[in-house]
Structure 1
Amino acid sequence: MKNELTLQLIDTHAGGDVSRIVTGGVDPLPGATVRQQMEYLRDDADGLRKLLLEEPYGAPEMSVDLIVPPSDSRAETGYIIMEVMGYPIYSGSNTICTATAVLESGLVPKREGHQHFLLESPAGLVQIDARVENGVVEAITCGGLPSYIDTYRAAIHVPGLGDITYSVAYSGGFYALVDARDLGFHLTLDEERDLARCAGAIVEAIQAERGFSHYTLGDVGPLPFLHFMGPVDQVADDFYRSRSATYVHPGVICRSTTGTGTSARLALMHHEGGIRPGDKLETVSLRESGFIGEFLGVEQAGADGHDVVRNTITGKGHVLARSEIVVNCDDPMVECAGLHHILTSRHG
């Protein structure tokens, strides 16, 4: 008999971004809140993130969402987000995927029509509105984090690129926002590698020059995201559309436009006076997938009186696979250090 480490997964995607939802195989984590459980993983058990995002089990372009018990009794479940850059406290695409997975797996009973429930992320409670048609989850609308503009049209010199104009928004992480046309991009799929190289150089230059501080969270680490903005087209009185691409440092161009990237765009459009409450923006990715962000309104927050944008993000999640993976610690490609204390073993 041997001790076998296994994980139960539901692989999903929203807008092309693959999220692996871990539904079983991990022992209860210490921490009174989902945020504290996330901090424990980050500080004492980062091997789980690396295991599922690196060979032979995964790829850096994927994300991982671990289902954990909520600390707030109003939430159906909690979830912790893991990406190549670390542990973002919120993500729209990961929330859409997690909400879809808990419905399709029966962790949250699925009902025909519209249903509403709460999930608990490291950022706090998230309102989920699900639309179910003929037993299929057709759309998830989730609350975007309150978003604001930290920096508007600053300039930085980037080696090999010259002087770059950028803005910075907070929408669950700090995003550099740059005009794709100014950099010679049309935001088509054939530009993906060049977009990653360009974004990496800009992010590294910004990181070397300055840091950013949230008005309540304080220092949340170096800026990890960049969002390329295409032209904004008005397609109806209250509906806009823009090609977009989101970069995650180091080296990843997301397959979707990302929910937090879309929230960042709404914050910038409000800052520039371009939208009213009820207006919607559809961001369209290199792969022609999209998310729809709705601008709900604005409120003042923080000692400096930031204009904070309230918003929602809508998208569709798709189930790709339901599986159980075996963590083989005898495999030279598998690093099990820091895993045994959180993975449940069973006798095989």
Structure 2
Amino acid sequence: MKQELTIQLIDTHAGGDVSRIVTGGIDPLPGDSVRAQMEYLRDDADGLRKLLLEEPYGIPEMSVDLLVPSSDPRAAAGYIIMEVMGYPIYSGSNTICTATAVLEAGIVPKQEGRQSFLLESPAGLVRIDALVESGVVEAITCEGLPSYIHTHRASIEVPSLGTVTYSVAYSGGFYALVDAEALGFDLTLDEERKLACAAHAIVEAIQAERGFSHYTLGDVGPLPFLHFMGPVHQVAGGYYRSRSATYVHPGVICRSTTGTGTSARLALMHYEGLIRPGDRLETVSLRETGFIGEFSGIEQEGDYQVVKNNITGKGYVIARSDIVVNCDDSLVDCDGLHHILSSRESC
């Protein structure tokens, strides 16, 4: 008899960013909220994240979303977001992918037309509005986290780049926002590697010089993300479009423009007086995919004007599979993982 360990997955993508939705094979995690379950996974079972984002099962460009029971009875499910940089409390593209998978797996039955339901992220409840046409999930709109500008137009000296002007927004993580044209970028696919190198240099310089603190969360770690901004064009009344690229990890530019990156852009445009509630911004990636962010309102939180927003995109199912976890494989590290894997004996 041998022990067979498997993890059930629905692989999805939104805007080109692949999210692996874990639907089975993991034992219930301790914690009375999705946030507490996330913290347990982060502190005591980080092997799952590493397993699915590293060789031989994955690559760093992917994300992983583990479906877990919600602590709020109003939510259809909870989900924990895992990326190569760690455990973000929220992500727009991951939420779009998770909502798509929840519908395609029948956890939330599809209804033709528009339907709404709640998911529970580590950041709290998220309202999902889905558009289903002829049984196909054509669009997901999710709430972005309330976003605000922490720093406006600071400057820093960056080796090989010179003086770089940047703003910093919080939209689920701290983002440096940088004008792409000022650095000579057109935000085309052939620039992807150079964008990643420039972003890494800027982020390292900012991290070495200063830290950032959220007005309620406090210290959430060093600034991890950078969003390159192309020129903003108005294409209709209250509708704008801009090329964009988001850096999340050394060597990694997201294939999508990211939901949190789009939320950060909305916060900056509001701060600079360029948009009003009800206006929308379509961000367009290096691969010509896009998300649409809607500026839905403003709240005053202490010294900050916080932008409420919604993000719309489309998720696609690209695979349904079982991953067989072989802890005897020299490329597989089961430390920090074995104790949360469901198992069954087989001949």
> TM-score w.r.t. structure 2 length?
0.99
- Percent identity among equivalent residues? 82
| Paired position in structure 2 for 1:312 | 310
| Paired position in structure 2 for 1:59 | 59
Q: Deviations over 1:35-70 (max 9, x none)?
A: 011111111111100000001000000000000000
Cα displacement (A) at 1:4: 1.1
| Paired position in structure 2 for 1:281 | 281
| Paired position in structure 2 for 1:100 | 100
Q: Which of 325, 337, 340 is equivalent to 2:338?
A: 340
Q: Deviations over 1:223-282 (max 9, x none)?
A: 110000000000001100000000002331000000000000000000000001110000
Cα displacement (A) at 1:299: 1.0
State the one-letter code of the partner of 2:172: G
Total equivalences in the alignment: 346
Whether 1:323 aligns to 2:284 is: no
| Paired position in structure 2 for 1:175 | 175
* Helix, strand or coil at the partner of 2:338: coil
More displaced 10-residue stretch of structure 1: 328-337 or 256-265 = 328-337
Task: Tell me if structure 1 keeps the 8 A contact 2:197–2:250.
Answer: no
Alignment of 1:189-268 (within 5 A): 189-268=189-268
| Paired position in structure 1 for 2:294 | 294
Q: Runs of 4+ in structure 1 displaced over 4 angstroms?
A: none
| Paired position in structure 2 for 1:188 | 188
What runs of 5+ residues in structure 1 fail to find an aligned partner?
none
For residues 196 and 46 of structure 2, what CA distance do their matches in structure 1 show? Answer: 25
Cα displacement (A) at 1:33: 0.6
| Paired position in structure 2 for 1:147 | 147
What runs of 5+ residues in structure 2 fail to find an aligned partner?
none
| Paired position in structure 2 for 1:123 | 123
Task: Tell me if structure 2 keeps the 8 A contact 1:203–1:249.
Answer: no
For residues 268 and 337 of structure 2, what CA distance do their matches in structure 1 show? Answer: 41
For residues 59 and 52 of structure 1, what CA distance do their matches in structure 2 show? Answer: 8
* Helix, strand or coil at the partner of 2:205: helix
For residues 347 and 187 of structure 1, what CA distance do their matches in structure 2 show? Answer: 52
State the one-letter code of the partner of 2:166: Y
Q: Deviations over 1:138-162 (max 9, x none)?
A: 0000000000000000011111111
For residues 167 and 251 of structure 1, what CA distance do their matches in structure 2 show? Answer: 22
State the one-letter code of the partner of 1:325: I
For residues 159 and 343 of structure 2, what CA distance do their matches in structure 1 show? Answer: 50
State the one-letter code of the partner of 2:325: V
Q: Deviations over 1:79-103 (max 9, x none)?
A: 0000011000000000000000000
For residues 63 and 171 of structure 1, what CA distance do their matches in structure 2 show? Answer: 18
State the one-letter code of the partner of 1:323: S
Q: Deviations over 1:78-135 (max 9, x none)?
A: 0000001100000000000000000001011111110000000000000000000000
For residues 214 and 224 of structure 2, what CA distance do their matches in structure 1 show? Answer: 14
* Helix, strand or coil at the partner of 1:12: strand
Q: Deviations over 1:158-180 (max 9, x none)?
A: 11111110000000000000000
Task: Tell me if structure 2 keeps the 8 A contact 1:85–1:250.
Answer: no
Whether 1:114 aligns to 2:119 is: no
State the one-letter code of the partner of 1:145: L
For residues 251 and 189 of structure 1, what CA distance do their matches in structure 2 show? Answer: 14
State the one-letter code of the partner of 2:45: A
